[in-house]
């Protein structure tokens, strides 16, 4: 039967969809895509012609949010186990970024009715994400990677800021003193303090005023350019593969509900620099890297990353895309978001943002 090779999508009584892609389904779906046989209510948005895909499939086994399967060592199919009918940012962003080479080439977006159920992209051989490679760098005390990924982030933002048929007007100007950012950051701080208990909570509550002080520049932020940001730009989304670095996963941040898609570039940069710090904390925790040496490593890497980012924008004549006054407040907000995430979803992650905050406010 035609449809049996496709995943099963079922809706719960609450309207929440779930998808089940059993072994062999990915291969079968790719065969059907190649011959244009898509059984309704599935449909496909083609981004680039699919290359020939040899038989064979294997799941990706690293820690991940969704379920990615490598097919024929040629493409990766990312299945969304909880497909959403809400508009998904990735297909449009990937179409907009057609001229940006440093991501996995996107081929197709697969829908079930109006819900995105899968993305098909090129497989990047020998890829490891930053929760592996960046932790290795932290352990070894090497910082050479920082300038490379700073330039990569800047190239991504330059591509985001370049008009395309999909987004003909990709740069907007925020109204000055955009109060919403301050409110959002203060709310994150309030929640982080409220949700963090025990000794960490006491420590945090004592620093709440200092942290709030760091958010102050948001109150008087001047008008600044806004672009479509990646939205979840941490080292885990940066793959080091056979031919260099690539940034993947344009699904946005599932932990920030209703975030405006247009944000200052500093939003992504702040998340990326803090994630380098988190990789350092992982190295301390899991690899017995020294605390002091790792703090020095993180500070040097973050500085090199931000410098390289700014230099790359300036060389392209787009230094205006980065408003540096937003960087520190957004970094502080990001640490609060990590604490909220830990409290709500992953308690064992708390050590990472706490370790960073204890370094910053020693």
Residue 177 gets the label, from left (phi > 0), alpha (psi -120 to 50) or beta, of left
**Per CB under 6 A, which of residues 284..313 are in contact with ligand ADP?**
none
Q: Which does 137 bind (CB under 5 to 8 A by kind): Mg ion, ligand ADP, none?
A: none
**Minimum CB–partner distance for residue 251 and Mg ion (Å):** 7
Cα distances (Å, whole numbers) of residue 110 to 24, 33, 80, 127, 210: 17, 10, 10, 24, 47
CB 185 within 8 A of CB 332: yes
Minimum CB distance to Mg ion, residue 271 (Å): 13
**Residue 308 site contact among ligand ADP, Mg ion, none (CB < 5 to 8 Å, cut-off depends on kind):** none
Least Å distance, CB 242 to ligand ADP, is 10
* 30: nearest Cα among 75, 94, 83: 75
Site for Mg ion in 62-81 (CB under 5 A): none
Q: Which stretch binds ligand ADP (CB under 6 A): 16-24, 56-64, 156-164, 322-330?
A: 56-64
Which position among 43, 64, 220, 255 is part of the footprint of ligand ADP (CB under 6 A)?
64
Q: Is 238 in the site for ligand ADP (CB under 6 A)?
A: no
DSSP string covering 37-74: ---TTEEEEESSPPPP--S-EEE--SS-SSEEEEETTT
Letter string b/e over residues 168-188, b meaning 16 or more CB atoms within 10 A of that residue's CB: eebbeebeeebeebbebbbeb
Element (H, E) at 18: strand 17-20
Which tokens go with 123?
Answer: 């497989």
**Cα–Cα distance measured from residue 249 to residue 84, given in angstroms and rounded to the nearest whole number:** 16
Q: Which of 143, 196, 237, 308 binds ligand ADP (CB under 6 A)?
A: 237
60 binds, among ligand ADP, Mg ion, none (CB under 5 to 8 A by kind): ligand ADP
Residue 118, beta-bridge partner list: 79, 110
> Which candidate, 130, 128, 61, places its Cα nearest to that of 280?
130
Structure tokens at 22: 């059993």
SS3 content of the chain, % helix, strand, coil (to 5): 50, 15, 35
Instruction: Give the shortest CB-263-to-ligand ADP separation in angstroms.
Output: 20
Does 62 help bind ligand ADP (rule: CB under 6 A)? yes
Shortest approach of ligand ADP to residue 293 CB, angstroms? 27
Contact indicator for 23, 42 with CB cutoff of 8 Å: no
When binding is defined by CB under 6 A, the residue of 68, 178, 273, 308 that contacts ligand ADP is 68
Which positions from 12 to 41 touch Mg ion by CB under 5 A, shown as an x/- string? ------------------------------
| Pairwise CA distance, residues 339 & 196, whole Å | 7
CA 7, CA 21: separation in Å to the nearest integer?
A: 5
Q: Which of residues 98-127 bind ligand ADP (CB under 6 A)?
A: 104, 121-124, 127
Which residue in the shown chain puts its C-beta closest to Mg ion? 249
Residue pair 274/334 in contact (Cβ under 8 Å)? The answer is yes
Residue reference for tokens 């031919």: 243
Task: Please identify which residue in 32, 57, 214, 249 interacts with Mg ion, judged by CB under 5 A.
Answer: 249
Which 330-349 residues touch ligand ADP, going by CB under 6 A?
none
**Taking CB within 5 to 8 Å according to partner kind, which of ligand ADP, Mg ion, none is near residue 227?**
none
Identity of the residue, 221 or 248, whose beta carbon is nearer to ligand ADP in the bound complex: 248
* Minimum distance, C-beta of residue 132 to ligand ADP, in the bound complex (Å): 8
Q: Which is nearer to ligand ADP, 136 or 191 (CB)?
A: 136
Among positions 38, 50, 60, 296, the unique one binding ligand ADP when judged by CB under 6 A:
60
The residues of the shown chain that bind Mg ion, judged by CB under 5 A, are 249
The residues of the shown chain that bind ligand ADP, judged by CB under 6 A, are 60, 62, 64-66, 68, 76, 78, 104, 121-124, 127, 129, 236-237, 239, 248-249, 251
């Amino acid at each position: 039967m035609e449809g049996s090779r496709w995943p099963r999508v079922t809706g719960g009584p609450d309207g929440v969809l779930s998808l089940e892609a059993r072994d062999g389904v990915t291969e079968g779906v790719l065969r059907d895509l190649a011959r244009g046989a898509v059984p309704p209510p599935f449909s496909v948005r083609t981004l680039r012609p699919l290359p020939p895909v040899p038989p064979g499939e294997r799941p990706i086994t690293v820690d991940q949010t969704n379920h990615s399967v490598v097919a024929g060592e040629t493409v990766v199919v990312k299945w969304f186990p909880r497909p959403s009918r809400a508009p998904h940012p990735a297909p449009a962003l990937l179409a907009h970024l057609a001229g940006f080479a440093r991501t996995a080439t996107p081929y197709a977006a697969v829908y079930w009715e109006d819900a995105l159920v899968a993305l098909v992209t090129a497989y990047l051989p020998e890829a490891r994400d930053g929760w592996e490679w960046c932790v290795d760098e932290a352990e070894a005390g090497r910082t050479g990677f920082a300038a490379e990924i700073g330039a990569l982030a800047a190239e991504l933002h330059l591509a985001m800021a370049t008009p395309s048929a999909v987004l003909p007007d990709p740069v907007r100007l925020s109204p000055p003193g955009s109060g919403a950012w301050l409110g959002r950051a203060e709310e994150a701080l309030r929640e982080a303090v409220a949700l963090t208990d025990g000794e960490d909570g006491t420590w945090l509550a004592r620093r709440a005023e200092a942290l709030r002080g760091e958010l102050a520049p948001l109150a008087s932020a001047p008008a600044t350019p806004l672009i479509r940001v990646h939205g979840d730009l941490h080292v885990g989304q940066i793959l080091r593969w056979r031919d260099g670095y690539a940034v993947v996963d344009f699904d946005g941040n599932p932990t920030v509900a209703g975030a405006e898609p247009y944000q200052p570039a500093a939003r992504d940069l702040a998340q990326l620099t803090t994630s380098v710090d988190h990789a350092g904390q992982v190295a301390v925790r899991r690899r017995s890297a020294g605390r002091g040496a790792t703090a020095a490593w993180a500070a040097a890497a973050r500085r090199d990353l931000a410098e390289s980012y700014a230099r790359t924008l300036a060389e392209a004549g787009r230094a205006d895309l980065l408003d540096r006054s937003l960087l520190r407040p957004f970094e502080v907000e990001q640490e609060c978001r990590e604490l909220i995430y830990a409290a709500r979803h992953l308690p064992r992650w708390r050590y990472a943002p706490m370790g960073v905050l204890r370094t910053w406010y020693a």
